[in-house]
Amino acid sequence: MTTERSLVLVKPDGFARGLTGEVIRRIERKGYRLVALRILTPTREMLGQHYAEHAEKPFFGELVDFMSSGPVTAIVIEGNQCIAGFRSLAGTTDPTKAAPGTIRGDLGRDWGQGSTENVVHGSDSPESAAREMAIWFPDL
């Protein structure tokens, strides 16, 4: 049994389109528990930490511009294997290619910036989840 926590973000595109409830509905229907939730517009400093692994990528500037453009819903979820489980719910990074049935496949599309706007983020490992939760929920 691997009870885990994962950091989920409803990104500015998803928040602006009113998709927070739909994302939460899918998380809860899957059986994961909500542990914490907040709405905030992230600072570029927070995003530099959150996306540190991508700092040298060509899309990094565009990604930080997008992610700091408006409010996001940050959520900590909990459940056995919820890190892999939420990644499966989210679908692959590129919303054009993400499978129907997934959050990105059903709710996302290319709006002119390729894969940048893809509705949600989910932690990709227990180490990432711990690091990311400290950024978004320092009091948790």
Catalytic positions, written as ranges? 121
| Torsions phi, psi for 38 (to 5 deg) | -150, 155
110 forms part of the interface with ligand IDP (CB under 6 A) = no
Contact 35, 5 (CB under 8 A): yes
93 forms part of the interface with ligand IDP (CB under 6 A) = yes
Contact 36, 45 (CB under 8 A): no
Residue whose beta carbon is closest to Mg ion: 124
Contact set for Mg ion, span 102-131 (CB under 5 A): 124
125 forms part of the interface with ligand IDP (CB under 6 A) = no
Binder of residue 63, out of Mg ion, ligand IDP, none (CB less than 5 to 8 A by kind): ligand IDP
Sheet holding 72-80, edge to edge: 33-40, 72-80, 3-10, 120-122
Binding site for ligand IDP (CB under 6 A): 54, 59, 63, 93, 114-116, 118, 121, 124
